[in-house]
Amino acid sequence: MSNVVNAEPYLYIDGYGETEQQATIDAKQQLALRIYSKVEVKEKNIQSKVNGDINTSYELQSEITTLPIEIQYMEISHVTCEYFTCQYQFKIDTNKWFASLKRDVAEYHNIASDYLSIAGQQWRDLKQLDTIKSNLLNSEQSLIILSSLGASDLFLLENKQSRLLRRATQYENQFQISFRSASDRFSSEVKTLLSASKAASSSGNITVYIKASMQKGKQGNHFVAKQTVVLQIFEANNLGVVVAQKQLSEMASSPNSIDSALKKARQKIIKILKTHSIYSLLD
Residues 192 and 269 in one domain: yes
- State residue 110's pLDDT score: 96
Report in angstroms the alpha-carbon separations of 60 from 37, 44, 150, 175. 18, 6, 35, 42
pLDDT of residue 57: 64
Task: Please give the pLDDT value at position 43.
Answer: 62
Establish if 117 belongs to a structural domain: yes
Structural domain span for residue 215: 177-281
| CB atoms closer than 10 angstroms to residue 126 | 24
Q: Indicate whether 60 pLDDT > 90.
A: no
Instruction: Select the more confidently predicted residue: 283 or 182.
Output: 182
Residues 46 and 109 in one domain: no
Q: Specify whether 14 is located in the same domain as 71.
A: yes
Indicate whether 1 belongs to any domain. no
- Domain with residue 272: its CATH number is 3.30.160.150
Lowest model confidence (mean pLDDT) among 32-46, 107-121, 266-280: 32-46
Residue 268: count of CB within 10 angstroms of its CB: 15
- Listed range (150-154, 174-178, 258-262) with the worst mean pLDDT: 174-178
- What DSSP element (H or E) covers 203? none
- pLDDT at residue 212, as a whole number: 95
Instruction: Identify the helix (H) or strand (E) that includes residue 263.
Output: helix 258-275
Q: Is the residue at 134 inside a domain?
A: yes
pLDDT over 70 percentage in the chain: 85
- For residues 193 and 273, the answer to whether their CB atoms sit within 8 Å is yes
Identify the pLDDT of residue 1. 46
Average model confidence (pLDDT) across the chain = 85
Instruction: Give, in degrees to the nearest 5, the angle at Cα 9 between 5 and 15.
Output: 35
The predicted pLDDT at position 260 comes to 94
Same domain, 141 and 47: no
pLDDT of residue 3: 66
Q: What is the pLDDT of residue 100?
A: 94
pLDDT of residue 58: 56
> Does residue 256 have a pLDDT over 80?
yes
As to burial, measured by CB atoms within 10 angstroms (0-12 exposed, 13-18 middle, 19+ buried), residue 87 is middle
Residue 2 forms part of a structural domain: no
State the distance between the two ends of the chain, measured CA to CA, in whole angstroms. Answer: 43
Percent of the chain predicted with pLDDT > 90: 47
The number of distinct structural domains making up the chain is: 3
Separation CA 45–CA 58 (nearest Å): 5
Q: Per the domain annotation, does 3 fall within a domain?
A: no
- CA-based nearest residue to 208, from 229, 184, 181: 181
pLDDT surpasses 70 at 10: yes
Report strand pairing: 177-181 vs 206-219: parallel
pLDDT of residue 61: 61
Select the more confidently predicted residue: 9 or 8.
9
158: left (phi over 0), alpha (psi -120 to 50) or beta: alpha
For residue 259, what are the CA distances in angstroms to 200, 225, 226, 249, 253?
31, 8, 11, 17, 10
Q: Which residue has the higher pLDDT, 91 or 71?
A: 91
CA 7, 9, 11, 12: dihedral to nearest 10 degrees?
Answer: -60
> 274 and 181, same structural domain?
yes
What's the Rg (C-alpha) of the chain? 26
Whether 188 and 142 map to the same domain: the answer is no
**pLDDT exceeds 70 at position 91:** yes
Same domain for 35 and 100, yes or no, is no
The predicted-structure confidence for 160-206, as pLDDT tens digits, reads as follows 999 999 999 988 888 788 899 999 999 999 999 988 876 777 777 88
Which of 54-58, 128-132, 138-142, 240-244 has the highest average model confidence (pLDDT)? 138-142
Whether 105 and 58 map to the same domain: the answer is no
